[in-house]
Structure 1
């Protein structure tokens, strides 16, 4: 299976070319990313100053969960007031780039990870909440722990698509991440269930250290009372739950886990569409084989019927 990249490839390639010493040129490009995210790369002031802006649907949600702090930490020296129509902007001066090539490459990659960094904010906050709840829970037995420790923190809601959301909830022994996803067609629901079942079977067979994965059409218990959670009863909405255990929540593994889990929805639907395309190509190939068999079965010479002047008919071999 294909693993999607965390960074924007077009943005990275454009910046890598500019940082390589190529002559400055005017830039005005709009680049799309997954989940409706839009990048705008331009040189509004001069050819040596590149402005990179991002527009993301759930930016207000992310600000509530510490996105501003994460962005300032990752892109602090380059942060400028946002371009009109966009949520966040950074400005890079080509005349003041780091001298070392490795540092320039790292800068290009960091800018290309802009979407990943802003989306990481609620996950990082959930990690910190897990550490705090774990320390508090260690002071009590499971029965004596205060209700706030037993129930865990609040559910963080990120409305990153028009009808879909990510829900993140930290507890003293785990972090639960729930994706709501829309299945427009019945075949997508079937493929989705098969795909998730592969996750479950892989964990059972060989990868015991993987997170627990659950799939259901009604909202999980963690989402009870959360505003905006829908239960259509038709199976159109599916809820995919990842349970991250302490082995996934170490500070060393945090960046990689956050990068991988936030791209799950795109990874999930990409492989559903790829599976459907593969089956359709097999069907077309099988149909072409059947037509070829029929053409080969047709006789090369057919008896033709002719009439005489008197009206009698007789057959002539072709």
Structure 2
């Protein structure tokens, strides 16, 4: 799940390391995000005020070809992050769309300086959001001849493209939804249907109109088949002029950029909730069955109880039973043994012994 953040955590950490260093330090570091965004940070110990930040990022609208790298509207928004600290280098370094010079000496040494570093680390978000803002505000530039409007494919993540379509008095954003597991498709489909029902209620009249369809909308006819092959259908939002007025423009842009992440987060949370409920339910059922088994055993014991004498015998401990059995066996052995008479052994030795004799007759062995 690629949640699009305004600030880059990795870039912020490196810039803060340079900001908090007691002595100027040498740094030459490359960062990669989303597999298509690259940052290159260079700092020199000899010239601490010359810290360069280069950014390589794909454009949202791939058909736009600009020699300067980024649109003027985007450059103005980047410059507006911190005009005293940021200086745009023209032309940018080879292989990058934008190169900035950061003047650390002008960053205050307090909490305001940390906030300024955080704002600078959000330059990638500013670039992407500014391109989408420019499209939403200047929709006439997307028109083609004969009054027809073609879809514009926007890519901020390689696996999560979406389309923006200019229509009379509105702009339609279409999101092809793809999921890896069938269970995720079921959860997401239920969520989209509920989103449609809630969006059509009176409480959310001012919200963008939401439509979900298992088949591509008519506006996407003619697009490549790989862009229209989905298992979760297509979600469309109708954005009117009311949704891009003033501060609403920034909120609308970020909601569109994070719609994929929001849906996947909802699916993941719902799946975890269902699994926890199933596990709890299973444990309760096992407990009921276990208690029922104990009651059945207790009932059988009561039913098979015999007379009091038998119950008393069963109440004896195992050691007592073994001891009684041993004594009983010894008594039987004594009864079956021969009767002993005192002095009889001496009498037998004296009077009952036969005298030994030898035969006078000898025999010879015949050959």
Q: Is the shorter-chain TM-score for this pair beyond 0.5, marking a shared fold?
A: yes
Aligned to 2:321: none
CA contact (8 A) 2:61 2:153 kept: no
Label 1:20 to 1:161 Cα distance change in 2 as closer, same or farther (>3 A). Answer: closer
CA–CA separation in structure 1 for the residues paired with 2:121 and 2:63:
19
Higher Cα Rg, which structure? 2
Matches within 5 A, 1:145-294: 148-149=146-147, 151-152=148-149, 154-205=150-201, 206-227=203-224, 230-232=227-229, 236=231, 238-294=233-289
- Offset of residue 274 of structure 1: 1.5
Label 1:169 to 1:59 Cα distance change in 2 as closer, same or farther (>3 A). Answer: closer
CA–CA separation in structure 2 for the residues paired with 1:229 and 1:121:
28
CA contact (8 A) 2:153 2:162 kept: yes
Between 123-132 and 280-289, report the one with greater CA deviation.
123-132
- Offset of residue 26 of structure 1: 6.4
Aligned residue pairs: how many? 285
Aligned to 1:7: 6
- Offset of residue 157 of structure 1: 1.1
Which stretches in structure 2 are left out of the alignment for 5+ residues?
A: 80-85, 302-313, 319-367
Label 1:231 to 1:23 Cα distance change in 2 as closer, same or farther (>3 A). Answer: same
- The structure with the largest strand share of the pair is 1
Label 1:11 to 1:163 Cα distance change in 2 as closer, same or farther (>3 A). Answer: closer
Aligned to 2:62: 61
Label 1:32 to 1:123 Cα distance change in 2 as closer, same or farther (>3 A). Answer: same
Q: Once superposed, what is the RMSD of the aligned Cα atoms? A: 4.1
SS at match of 1:61: coil
Aligned to 1:72: 75
CA contact (8 A) 2:74 2:127 kept: yes
Aligned to 1:113: 122
CA–CA separation in structure 2 for the residues paired with 1:273 and 1:281:
12
Q: TM-score, normalised by structure 1?
A: 0.70
1:227-261 Cα shifts (integer Å, max 9, x gaps):
456444xx525321111012113244222211222
Q: Does 1:95 align with 2:105?
A: yes
Aligned to 1:139: none
Which stretches in structure 1 are left out of the alignment for 5+ residues?
A: 135-145, 304-315
SS at match of 1:284: helix
1:18-63 Cα shifts (integer Å, max 9, x gaps):
5875636666777675x54545474443495555454545567285
CA–CA separation in structure 1 for the residues paired with 2:146 and 2:137:
16
CA–CA separation in structure 1 for the residues paired with 2:208 and 2:228:
25
- Offset of residue 101 of structure 1: 5.8
- Offset of residue 195 of structure 1: 1.7
CA–CA separation in structure 1 for the residues paired with 2:243 and 2:175:
18
